[in-house]
Amino acid sequence: MKYRQLGRTGLEVSEIGYGAWGIGQSEWMGADDEVSLKSLKAARDAGVNFFDTALAYGMGHSEQLLARAFGKSNDVIMASKVPPKNFVWPAQPGVPLREVFPKEYVLSSLDQTLKNLGRETVDLYQFHVWNDEWSDNEEWLSTIREIRGSGKARFLGISINDHQPANSLKVLATGLIDTVQVIYNIFDQSPEDELLPYCQKYHIGVLARVPFDEGSLTGKIRPDTSFPEGDFRHQYFGGDRKQQVWERVQRLTKDAAIPLEQLPQFALRFCLSHPAVSTVIPGMRTPAHVASNAAASDAGPLSAAVLAKVRPHRWVRNFYD
């Protein structure tokens, strides 16, 4: 496992981090706590030291599993998020901050996260949605000052709305935010337009999320794949979307000259090929997933020649709608 600087924080994070949404037992069906604990420990054994969770993942269940796996160990870097009070993802234009991140709510959510994690401090605390209209809101600025003064969070970040990478540039210009978490993968290359160059220039840490496009870039989403009711992928891959994904994946693997089974590692290596990226945080609910994903760091970034073949596979669409 290789490591990179997390922006200007001084933290060194593993190139492959652990995205803990899938082990929260909400929206992703089939997670088993004992298997999840084994995967967390396998990740640490593989050199993963960055673990990203959220209070909304199983209403704290994911955070509690991290506490069970690692206790108060200083060998792991913990990141969590405050959910929007109105529980609307993504943040909607024109909605006032008071409906989403009122100060008292953010601070009480942070206390609940610390209780779930069994810690006095979380390494990185992130806002789980964002709207740049709030960047100069005095209540939000006061919240930031109080969190920093309390010592309950070492660093602060923004988890950017789905497919809206530029909806963060205003808040980043304040200098108050240390990291951004953004959807970045072979199909959604839009962060490269403005966000990643900005983060690289100003030393802002980048957490690349959804590197597999919720499963599309694992090669396992086929026209006959089905998901149970209650699993968010039932909607995400609804209608003819599985067929669209399968056809896109076939073209991608052909152009990149890779077998289908190598696509997951290839997708992670694509994310790591951009120097602005600090870590990639795929979900990995089993030790087998961990072993496969961790190996992408050892394999290294893609060559310029291969990246040139990947660029035309940018796909502008939003399956979250």
* Residue 45, domain member (yes or no): yes
Considering its fold, how many domains does the chain have in total?
A: 1
* Residue 255, domain member (yes or no): yes
Tokens read off for 43: 């990740």
Q: Structural domain of residue 150, as residue ranges?
A: 3-313
- At 273-309, the pLDDT tens digits run 999 999 999 999 899 999 999 999 999 999 999 999 9
Residue 28: per-residue pLDDT: 53
pTM of the model as a whole:
0.96
Checking if the pLDDT of 25 tops 90, the result is no
Please state the φ and ψ torsions of residue 89, each to the nearest 5 degrees: -115, 135
* Residue 321, domain member (yes or no): no
CA distances to 74, 160, 198, 275 from 16, rounded to whole Å, are 18, 20, 22, 14
- At 105-143, the pLDDT tens digits run 999 999 999 999 999 999 999 999 999 999 999 999 999
CATH code of the domain containing 22: 3.20.20.100
Q: Is 291 exposed, middle or buried (0-12, 13-18, 19+ CB in 10 A)?
A: middle
CB 171 within 8 Å of CB 196: no
Hey, which residues does 18 pair with through a beta bridge? 51
* Residue 39, domain member (yes or no): yes
* Residue 92, domain member (yes or no): yes
Residue 233: per-residue pLDDT: 87
* Residue 99, domain member (yes or no): yes
CB 42 within 8 Å of CB 287: yes
Residue, of 166 and 318, whose pLDDT is higher: 166
Checking if the pLDDT of 26 tops 80, the result is no
* Residue 157, domain member (yes or no): yes
Residue 29: per-residue pLDDT: 57
* Residue 191, domain member (yes or no): yes
Residue 164: per-residue pLDDT: 96
% of the chain beyond a pLDDT of 90:
91
